[in-house]
Amino acid sequence: MSNIDQYAVFGHPINHSKSPRIHTLFAEQTKQTLDYTSQDVPAELFTSAIAEFFKQGGKGLNCTVPLKELAWDRADTLSERAQFSKAVNTLVLQEDGTLLGDNTDGLGLVADLTVNHGISLNNKRILILGAGGASRGIIGPLMEKSPVGIVIANRTVEKAIALSHEFSQLGEIAGCAYEALKGFSFDLILNATSASLTGELPPLTDNLLAENGCCYDLAYGNQPTAFVKWGVAQGAIKSLDGLGMLVEQAAEAFFVWRGVRPETKEIIKLLNSERA
Ligand code: NDP
């Protein structure tokens, strides 16, 4: 067991993750002493990997694709935002040895869209592609910014419809299949599928993006993702990937773990320069 506080991100695949780099930069900036590593953990090994990590002195964990719903199940207690989203991206070891589950994804996305990129959500028509853990985490915080409404499209349509029902108390939220989007247009299209991780694009038709609309891929990479390229081809005024969201959600997780809030702007700038 190490003397240094241990943190990690679990996911599958995980080799693309920039979380270790980001948390190491946060630790340097805020003068905190900690280790943050990544571990490739497929869903079937989640229970044993998590038990081992905390047994070895782990203090906190991030969970990414495809583990967020499993992490929600595993948490002993939940923050309000995690309870509502039924997805957990941050686990915190409590003093009594129990695990608190939190979700910082929605806050991270909204901060990146509105603060870093000046994209207003008020009165906008939003389309979310995908109905997995990431979608669960972002619907609540997006609805707080008073859009006209949200449509969720998913390959497995039942999941999109179930998600829309679960969140219906927040306002206008509908779930549908990709084919049902024909004839509709949106001011903001968010790709919350994991298609970009394998270089794929959800089955999108032309004319889905309204004039002056924006596209945002929650995934990120050193090169523009297939969805970011699609947004550019559709004439988006901004077609962005999720690097800024990643840094913002990580900053919130760091704050939950360490009680210190890192500055994000310089770190986003640095990571952007490294992939240029
Ligand atoms: P999940 O595994 O929980 O869900 C994946 C979703 O993607 C499902 O809706 C699935 O559809 C859909 N999907 C997968 N492949 C395809 C495809 N080829 N075409 C269409 N739909 C597809 O993943 P998460 O929700 O946790 O993560 C989704 C994405 O968001 C990932 O790329 C992840 O990296 C990114 N993310 C980024 C964050 C950031 O900070 N930037 C934070 C959180 C997530 P179906 O239900 O039919 O299987």
Does 131 sit in the ligand 1 pocket, CB within 6 Å? yes
Report the residue among 63, 65, 90 best suited for mutation to probe ligand 1: largest number of ligand atoms under 8 A from its CB.
65
CA distance 123 to 203: 26
Exposure b/e, 91-127, CB count within 10 A at least 16 = b? bbbeeeeebbbbbbbbbbbbbbbeebeebebeebbbb
- Please give the average per-residue pLDDT across 180-207, as a whole number: 96
What pTM, to 2 d.p., does this model score? 0.95
Predicted confidence (pLDDT) at residue 1 exceeds the cutoff of 70:
no
In degrees and rounded to multiples of 5, residue 72 shows phi and psi of -65, -45
Task: Express each pLDDT in 246-260 by its tens digit.
Answer: 999 999 999 999 999
Beta strands in 133-208 (DSSP E): 149-153, 173-176, 186-191
* Tokens coding 258: 């360490």
Confidence of residue 218 (pLDDT cuts 50, 70, 90): very high
* Largest Cα span, the chain: 59
Residue 2: predicted pLDDT: 72
Residue 182: predicted pLDDT: 95
| Half-sphere exposure of residue 192: CA atoms within 13 angstroms, side-chain side | 27
Instruction: Give the residue among 236, 242, 245, 195 at the shortest CA–CA distance from 221.
Output: 242
Task: Express each pLDDT in 43-73 by its tens digit.
Answer: 999 999 999 999 999 999 999 999 999 999 9
Does 105 sit in the ligand 1 pocket, CB within 6 Å? yes
